[in-house]
């Protein structure tokens, strides 16, 4: 069975999508349609912008979405998924590629999500860090203890065995990094992000996005979509909406998602989007399963 996975924020790079734009008339039409919908030429930033411009959440998220979804569209008959999933932002790309959202609605939703998250980031100085080589339970316990003392920090992305990203206030994340290194983490790497994604600090963005999601028409996708909040397959549009709303403040359960897809018959994983970050994570998850 074929599983298509869609990448999230952080995989962007200068020049992304340019080759696609220049080699496919279909891709070019979709990119130009996106420029129209957004009201600015995002393609100029994607193809020729600086790292700094591309790193802004309001640019990064629609840019990664466009690269991912247009890659799937230009596959034509080769895009025949038995199941799909997307990492964080990639979930909206997956839903769009699978037909639960139209291209226009998917892009509008991503842009609203990006603006809401950027606004939430500006409200409180917050950050994220990757914890390497420590078990999930220890990470959760340390984060819980620090949060109970007044500095918010939570496990945000369960990326693969031995790699969990934590998220929260700058103080909370710094304290957790120290404690987790003391507890045996091989590394605690601060991430170059401007906010605490998938943490309680995204609550204002969640409330804003909830309105946008409830105003958007969702259809039944062409195949099950494994969602971040519960790592389970969904086809019911109402369930998909509820999970997408919850996703902003809930952790991305990527290890469980890929494990469940494998258990449900996924053999080939095809990555849609810039880079190949997901292939590396999937390889580690498969290896932990002995697959």
pLDDT of residue 55: 84
Please check whether residues 56 and 147 belong to one and the same domain: no
Residue 208: give the domain boundaries.
Answer: 2-121+200-289
pLDDT band at residue 9 using 50, 70 and 90 as cut-offs: confident
Measured CA distances, 30 to 8, 47, 68, 86, 153 (Å): 20, 15, 12, 20, 39
Domain boundary among 164, 190, 216: 190
Contact 97, 84 (CB under 8 A): yes
Active-site annotation holds for 198: yes
pLDDT band at residue 125 using 50, 70 and 90 as cut-offs: confident
The percent of residues above 90 in pLDDT, for the chain, comes to: 87
**Number of structural domains found in the chain:** 2
- pLDDT tens digit sequence for 240-288: 999 999 999 999 999 999 999 999 999 999 999 998 889 989 999 998 8
Please check whether residues 151 and 226 belong to one and the same domain: no
Please check whether residues 225 and 271 belong to one and the same domain: yes
The domain that holds 71 is classified in CATH as: 3.40.366.10
Please check whether residues 171 and 28 belong to one and the same domain: no
Please check whether residues 115 and 226 belong to one and the same domain: yes
116 domain residue, yes or no: yes
pLDDT of residue 275: 85
| CA distance linking residue 249 with residue 245, whole number of Å | 9
pLDDT of residue 267: 93
Is the predicted pLDDT of residue 291 greater than 70, yes or no? no
pLDDT of residue 277: 87
Handedness of CA 209, 112, 63, 84 (dihedral sign): positive
pLDDT, mean of residues 102-114: 97
Domain boundary among 190, 210, 227: 190
Active site residue: 68, 93, 167, 198, which one? 198
The percent of residues above 70 in pLDDT, for the chain, comes to: 100
Please check whether residues 227 and 204 belong to one and the same domain: yes
Is the predicted pLDDT of residue 27 greater than 90, yes or no? yes
117 domain residue, yes or no: yes
195 domain residue, yes or no: no
pLDDT, mean of residues 157-175: 96
| CA distance linking residue 288 with residue 144, whole number of Å | 26
Is the predicted pLDDT of residue 209 greater than 70, yes or no? yes
Please check whether residues 227 and 272 belong to one and the same domain: yes
The structure tokens listed for 157 are: 């992305």
Please check whether residues 117 and 228 belong to one and the same domain: yes
pLDDT of residue 170: 95
255 domain residue, yes or no: yes
Domain boundary among 190, 217, 241: 190
Please check whether residues 183 and 240 belong to one and the same domain: no
Please check whether residues 62 and 168 belong to one and the same domain: no
47 domain residue, yes or no: yes
The domain that holds 133 is classified in CATH as: 3.30.70.250
Alpha helices in the chain (DSSP H): 18-23, 25-38, 42-48, 51-55, 57-73, 90-97, 103-123, 136-148, 170-182, 203-214, 237-246, 254-263, 277-289
Please check whether residues 78 and 204 belong to one and the same domain: yes
Query: DSSP of 64-102, one letter per residue?
Result: HHHHHHHHHHTTGGG---SEEEESTTHHHHHHHHTTSS-
Active site residue: 71, 88, 167, 169, which one? 88
Q: What is the average pLDDT value for the chain, to the nearest integer? A: 95
Please check whether residues 152 and 266 belong to one and the same domain: no
| CA distance linking residue 97 with residue 241, whole number of Å | 16
Active-site annotation holds for 67: no
């Amino acid at each position: 069975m074929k599983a298509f996975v869609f990448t999230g924020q952080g995989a962007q790079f200068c020049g992304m999508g340019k080759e696609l734009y220049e080699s496919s008339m279909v891709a070019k039409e979709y990119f130009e349609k996106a420029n129209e919908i957004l009201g600015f030429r995002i393609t100029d930033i994607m193809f020729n912008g600086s790292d700094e411009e591309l790193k802004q959440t309001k640019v990064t998220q629609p840019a990664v979405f466009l690269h991912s979804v247009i890659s799937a569209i230009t596959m034509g008959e080769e895009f025949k998924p038995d199941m799909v999933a997307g990492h964080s932002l990639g979930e909206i790309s997956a839903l769009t590629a699978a037909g639960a959202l139209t291209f226009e609605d998917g892009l509008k939703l991503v842009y609203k999500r990006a603006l809401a998250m950027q606004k939430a980031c500006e409200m409180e100085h917050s950050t994220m860090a990757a914890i390497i080589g420590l078990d999930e339970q220890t990470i959760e316990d340390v984060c819980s203890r620090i949060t109970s003392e007044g500095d918010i920090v939570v496990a945000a992305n369960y990326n693969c065995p031995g790699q969990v990203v934590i998220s929260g206030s700058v103080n909370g994340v710094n304290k957790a990094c120290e404690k987790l290194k003391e507890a045996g983490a091989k590394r605690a790497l601060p991430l170059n992000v401007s906010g605490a994604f998938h943490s309680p600090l995204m609550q204002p963005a969640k409330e804003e996005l909830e309105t946008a999601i409830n105003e958007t028409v969702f259809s039944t996708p062409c195949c099950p979509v494994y969602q971040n909040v519960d790592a389970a397959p969904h086809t019911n549009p109402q369930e998909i909406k509820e999970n997408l709303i919850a996703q902003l403040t809930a952790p991305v359960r990527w290890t469980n998602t890929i494990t469940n897809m494998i258990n449900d018959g996924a053999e080939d994983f095809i990555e849609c989007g810039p880079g190949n970050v997901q292939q590396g994570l999937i390889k580690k998850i498969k290896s932990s399963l002995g697959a």
